[in-house]
Amino acid sequence: MVKPTQGAPRRRIAPQVIPQVITGLEPGPFHARIAALNHQHAWTNWMGFASPAVLDSVEFEYFAIRNQTTLFDISPMCKYAIEGPDAERVVNRLVTRDIGRLSPGRVTYAIWCDEDGQVIDDGTIFRLADDCFRLCCQEPQLAWLSDIAWGFDVTIRDVSREIAALSLQGPTSAALLRSLGVKAIEALKPFGIASIRIGECEVDVSRTGFTGDLGYELWMRPPDAARVWDRLMAAGDNWGLRAIGYQAVEMARIEAGFLLPKIDFLSARSALRTNRPSTPFELGLDAMVDLAKPHFNGRRALLRLAGERPARKLFAVEIERDKPAANALVYHRRKREVGMITSALWSPTCKRNIAYAWLDAPFGQTGTDDLWVEIYLQREIRWERRMARCRIVDKPFFVHQRRRQTPPANM
């Protein structure tokens, strides 16, 4: 916001200002700070907000996640407050895991399904108090939450624009917060929440993230956003702090074994073709489904599906040689098409060629050998086709012991 300088002509203000929404990308709460660092001028669209794709170099931004500390604006995430006497019942009706076991001040990763047991979205659920939850996810859920909460004594609010958020991830992230005098991080375990101050600003910190390593997420009021950013950046020099873009975050996300809607799976609420959504079992998220829980949305269907072999399943795979296999088709015995790759990456940390693959049954489930991916290589404007062997491996590809260590290590 530019303030009028002294002596500038005073603009007459129209008696009635008719609103008009922004077309194109909207600046988020950290936009001015990020824009100043965005030397590549590369923006992507995240829920209509301008989110940096890369600021300087994907490579160095990625290594900052694995070696130092990084700052990434996660404000565009959808955030919902679920509050009231029936809040726990509503959240339990929503998600497939038992939320009664989540204590106040703790966070959990959860998925939720439609009545056919097909996954709608995944996200993190913050239990801020006994009767106060916050849901963070990738796609708008207000209508669905309202349906779930109908008849319960609970209020559901979209607080996406009321909360600005930063992801502070990397081995030196605890050291950085320590240097700012944040005491609470010493006792803060993974998936814990604490209220802290950064400068004069009140900030909620959760020990969460999608990197498989030590890291935090900071939640604040949008008017404080720039001040918190400045404080962190000022303290960050000693700890190699680097603002990063989405592409580097995406690399760490794949290594850490997290799935992304619209990339690895399609929400049951947005799929046009009725056979596109997937069940938690197909996504390999069986551990997040608590069928012993009395009732939740999709339970009846999931009880039935639990006894059946999934028609297709998502697997973590490792592919020979070094070329990423994004969007590749998977073949059995190099001939029969049996699936496709979603996310793919040459992992610079693991030094492995990794990917997620959808495989039609029985492939991956019982028949695990002789699987190949078809990779197209562009070599100086000539395309070459390579069949590369791939094998099923365990997720995640990368997780560091620093992630769990409490109190957290300094680097």
Residues that bind other proteins (CB under 8 A): 16-26, 45, 47-48, 116, 140-144, 146, 158, 269-270, 272, 274
Of the two residues 158 and 202, which places its CB atom closer to other proteins in the complex?
158
Residue indicated by tokens 């029936």: 86
Q: Which residues are 391's β-sheet partners?
A: 318
What are the backbone dihedrals phi and psi of residue 23, each rounded to the nearest 5 degrees, phi first? -100, 155
Q: What angle do CA 302, 303, 308 make, to 5 degrees?
A: 80
Q: Which helix (H) or strand (E) holds 312?
A: strand 312-319
**355 in helix, strand or coil?**
strand
Quote the CA–CA distance of 305 and 296 in Å, as a whole number: 15
Of the two residues 270 and 406, which places its CB atom closer to other proteins in the complex?
270
CB-CB contact of 80 with 124 (8 Å): no
Q: Which residues are 110's β-sheet partners?
A: 123
Of the two residues 274 and 366, which places its CB atom closer to other proteins in the complex?
274
CB-CB contact of 125 with 107 (8 Å): yes
Of the two residues 114 and 318, which places its CB atom closer to other proteins in the complex?
114
Question: What is the nearest approach in angstroms of other proteins to the Cβ of residue 17?
Answer: 8
Quote the CA–CA distance of 346 and 348 in Å, as a whole number: 6
Of the two residues 142 and 393, which places its CB atom closer to other proteins in the complex?
142
What are the backbone dihedrals phi and psi of residue 369, each rounded to the nearest 5 degrees, phi first? -110, 170
H helices present in 70-182, as ranges: 87-94, 142-149, 173-179
Quote the CA–CA distance of 308 and 342 in Å, as a whole number: 24
Of the two residues 132 and 266, which places its CB atom closer to other proteins in the complex?
266
Among 354, 363, 311, CA closest to 336: 363
Of the two residues 144 and 265, which places its CB atom closer to other proteins in the complex?
144
Question: What is the nearest approach in angstroms of other proteins to the Cβ of residue 223?
Answer: 21
